[in-house]
Structure 1
Amino acid sequence: MKHIRYFKILFIIGQFFFAIYNKRKLILSLSTRSFKSNYSGSVLGLAWVIAEPLVYVFLLWFFFTKAMKFQPPEGYPYVPWLMSAMVLWNFFSHAFSSSASTFKNHAFILKKPEFNMSILPIVSILTSLYLHAIFLLIFFILMGITGIGFTLYWFQSIYYLFATAILLLGFAWITASLSLFIKDVSNIIGILLQIGFWISPIFWSLDTFPPKYRLLLELNPLSYVMEGYRKSFIYGQPFWNDWRGFIYYWSFTLIILLVGMVTYKKLRPHFGDVI
């Protein structure tokens, strides 16, 4: 029975990736349209989205380096050290907050029963990825200004970005499905993001905490990928050094994916009643 169950899970996963490949043009089209519609309605458009986190960076830099005299480990420049985690946080928070309305925003596709709606969260993740690419460009320019040169470790950031996207996919299945039936999901996401911002190693380092408190902070899965971005761009350390973080992160992510998959499967037949 267990073998049959495993084969069934693998078959569902195979169907999902086949649907992504089969609808890849539609996914790209929807994500591009979503990106344009999000930032074409205001006078400054995309500039507002870029300016807000940059203002955060400036305020955090001033508060921690000038007021509290905090310095990153080994004397790295604070602003690129800070932005190495901030750019990934912006990607996660933007994709996570927009995931709740994914199914609602594409209700017109519900009329096509042959369409696999489980691939729609990819649209919100891709939309956030476009914005992430812009922030990375700004970050790379800043790295050059502060004298931090290119290394081959930069390429392992692709792994950490992929890991973040897989976690977001699981969360998106949960939030997008539940938000159709529970209107407070968006508010809950807002609260979770506020908490996540302060317990993630964005403007502080895990090394500055005593071991007993550091263990609690490492339970936040975002600690693994954010520290991973720093290892890639700032520290120049290989990802395989943190094997415990690897095991914990992917165990947590697989659980979230499983919960998301079950949530979507259970609620999918009832989407038509609420959309």
Structure 2
Amino acid sequence: MIREVWNYRHLLMNMSKSDFKNRYSGSYFGVIWAIIQPLMTILIFWFVFQVGFRAQPISNVPFILWLCAAIIPWNFFTDAIINATGAFTNYSFVVKKLVFKIALLPLVKVLASFFLNIAFNLLLILIYSLYGDFPGIHLLSIIYFNICLTALITVLAYFLSTLNVFFRDTTQIVGIFLQFGIWLTPIMWQESVIPESFRWIVKLNPIYYIINGYRDALINRVWFFEHPLQTLYFWGVTAVIGIISFFFYKRMKSHFADVL
């Protein structure tokens, strides 16, 4: 599969660009909506917590910096997962073509969302810079955690997109889980509010590793390799999900054309 992706990398890139543009085709502002919608979400949360609840600085940084360090990678995760879940059903017209490498389709959706993620990561760096807190060399950690996030999204995408072919309610169920996920993950709240004896439960969520890693890199200037056990756990969980996902995809792909 990796070899196929490399051989068809130009097709993958072109389809991803086209998929990203088609999301907003026909609207007056076009792809600008891709920036406006997540940005408004950030501003709403900032207004509610900073202005409404008068949240105090956390970890010696303004609340907006602490919030953005978590919500920007979460936005990439939710956008990519929701779109990738419908990869095979949205492109059903090419799934039925035997000559087309359908293994590319979930990656098309993930890469399309990644374009937007790049823009928001640049915005994140700009916000920190305007507050006089440019992360410097620790931007390397941000690159690493983007690789982690993309890997996790990709392995989940193959499982969910395959399941969605046979169970079309998958997209709606995933959307509900993501709504709960933003509150079950320490994005809007600090993990310190949970008794220390129960914090390990929060850390079981692989997204925690990425959210905490972003904040460590941008706020605390801590490298990812300073948490070796969490790193091993994350990649172990990602590998297990990947094995299950690709096995499920391989077993079921021969039935795609019949169902679609």
What is the TM-score of this pair, normalised by structure 2? 0.93
- Residue 84 of structure 2 corresponds to residue 99 of structure 1: yes
Aligned to 1:240: 225
Distance, in Å, in 2 between the alignment partners of 1:69 and 1:218 is 28
* Matches for 1:33-182 after TM superposition, within 5 Å: 33-182=18-167
Q: Alignment partner of 2:35: what SS? A: helix
Distance, in Å, in 2 between the alignment partners of 1:23 and 1:108 is 19
- Residue 244 of structure 2 corresponds to residue 263 of structure 1: no
- Residue 210 of structure 2 corresponds to residue 202 of structure 1: no
Q: Partner letter of residue 22 of structure 1?
A: N
The alignment covers a number of residue pairs equal to: 260
Q: Percent identity?
A: 32
Q: 1:123: Cα distance to partner?
A: 0.8
Distance, in Å, in 1 between the alignment partners of 2:139 and 2:99 is 41
Distance, in Å, in 2 between the alignment partners of 1:40 and 1:110 is 23
Q: Partner letter of residue 268 of structure 1?
A: K
Q: 1:144: Cα distance to partner?
A: 1.8
What is the TM-score of this pair, normalised by structure 1? 0.88
Q: 1:140: Cα distance to partner?
A: 2.1
Q: CA RMSD in A?
A: 1.7
Distance, in Å, in 2 between the alignment partners of 1:195 and 1:133 is 25
Structure 2 residue runs of 5 or longer lacking an equivalent are: none
Does the aligned pair in 2 maintain the 1:171–1:257 contact within 8 Å? Answer: yes
Aligned to 2:16: 31
Aligned to 1:6: none
Distance, in Å, in 1 between the alignment partners of 2:230 and 2:52 is 33
Q: Alignment partner of 1:63: what SS? A: helix
Gap change, CA 1:154 and 1:208, over 3 Å in 2: farther
Aligned to 1:185: 170
Distance, in Å, in 2 between the alignment partners of 1:160 and 1:166 is 10
Distance, in Å, in 2 between the alignment partners of 1:43 and 1:234 is 38
Distance, in Å, in 2 between the alignment partners of 1:76 and 1:232 is 13
Q: 1:190: Cα distance to partner?
A: 0.6
Q: Alignment partner of 1:191: what SS? A: helix
Distance, in Å, in 2 between the alignment partners of 1:144 and 1:85 is 17
Gap change, CA 1:208 and 1:71, over 3 Å in 2: farther
Q: 1:111: Cα distance to partner?
A: 4.0
Q: Partner letter of residue 29 of structure 1?
A: N
Greater mean alpha carbon deviation, residues 92-101 or residues 198-207: 198-207
Does the aligned pair in 1 maintain the 2:135–2:217 contact within 8 Å? Answer: no
Does the aligned pair in 2 maintain the 1:72–1:205 contact within 8 Å? Answer: no
Q: 1:274: Cα distance to partner?
A: 1.4
Distance, in Å, in 1 between the alignment partners of 2:214 and 2:111 is 19
Q: 1:160: Cα distance to partner?
A: 0.9
Does the aligned pair in 2 maintain the 1:151–1:236 contact within 8 Å? Answer: no
